[in-house]
Amino acid sequence: MTDLAERRGAETTVYQPAEDSGLLAEAAIAEATGRVLEVGTGSGWVAERIATADDGADVEVVASDVNPHACRQARERGLDVVRASLLDPFRDGVFDTVAFNPPYLPTDPDNEWDDWMETALSGGRTGRELIEPFLDDVGRVLTPGGCVLLLVSSLTGYEAVIDRVEAAGFSHEVVREESYPFETLSILRLTRQ
């Protein structure tokens, strides 16, 4: 994994693994069970790690992304991939685990780049533009007893995300956390209250 900031000018089509990817992969390998969906898979690196983990025989992984270039890269990793915006095409109650590393960087719309990487990085003005609709809908696709693994950055307003998690009917616990000079990344495990 290389630093995302170093790649931003060179990589314009597919989000490649960075620190946040590694943290989500660690959590998902430890926590994911059954039928797993990784939303916003990018290159498919996290989904591949889940599928090929030592105990990965107990999981069936599906990856999704809105970006057609990302879907192609994830398929090249041997993954089952669906081109999708968040959870739109998925049936109710089919996933035991849903993992999501959302676009979370707060971004001024006047300063956004017009490319697929911007789609992968920009969380809108608050950093929560996709987190909020995801939380509003993810309970629909979970099986009873299912869980969500959601990456949250301190840049997105951690408490605002927690408020939305609770409003969506989930309890939460931090299962992984890393601090960097510019942000803290947390993986929340969400379960229905």
pTM of this structure: 0.87
What per-residue confidence (pLDDT) applies to 149?
98
Consecutive 10-residue averages of pLDDT for the chain (193 residues): 45 76 95 95 94 79 92 95 94 98 70 53 71 95 97 91 96 96 94 91
What per-residue confidence (pLDDT) applies to 2?
41
- How much is the CA Rg of the chain, to the nearest whole Å? 15
What per-residue confidence (pLDDT) applies to 12?
64
Phi, psi of 26 (to 5 degrees): -55, -50
DSSP H helical segments within the chain, as ranges?
4-7, 19-31, 45-52, 68-76, 116-121, 131-141, 158-167
